[in-house]
Structure 1
Amino acid sequence: GVPPRPHWVTTYYGGHDIKLILRRFGSNIIFSNGLKDPYSIGGVLENLSNSLLAIHTTNGSHCLDILQANETTDPHWLVKQRKTEVEIIEGWIAKYYADLATIFRN
């Protein structure tokens, strides 16, 4: 049989202190958690930096915010959360192009 390795994933991916790993090597990540999702307990539920952001909602469930949007049937809080996520990503993209333009001007 295969011997159990219950800690393999966290060891392999550096998850013993995932917040430290993310602060050192991560940027421009949105951790979106619906607190009705049983997996959310293992998620990032607080901002780790200015570009490692946690967005969570009491009403959300697993992957709800990344499913096909339907603004006529989706609850208001979900439409608002998606809009917030898009605005954050647009800001990161705008900053990238502004930084790129600065590099080429110099």
Structure 2
Amino acid sequence: MSVEIDITHGFDGLTLRVEAEVKGGLTAVFGPSGAGKTTVLNIVAGLFRPDAGRVCVNGRVLVDTGAGVFLPPAKRRVAVVFQEARLFPHLSVERNLLYGA
């Protein structure tokens, strides 16, 4: 798997700038609170639009603000599993992930 991220997004008093290329395997995003981890994941998943930039997964353009491309989340084939409970607290992580199937 290949993921290319080149995004910029402004917040009050802060500009998030991420340029990264990830190839293969499992990837973790980590850093201090407020560093922009969730924002980056939300942009890749299509839950948030950046001010400017481009995101590609396996050569497929998911976001390209210059070209006006913003693929909706349901068409991305990308998933984010959040730390806190988002679906059913009575189910295991595995059963929550398999629920949609």
- TM-score, normalized by length of structure 1? 0.23
- TM-score, normalized by length of structure 2? 0.24
* Structure of larger gyration radius: 1
- Greater fraction strand: 2
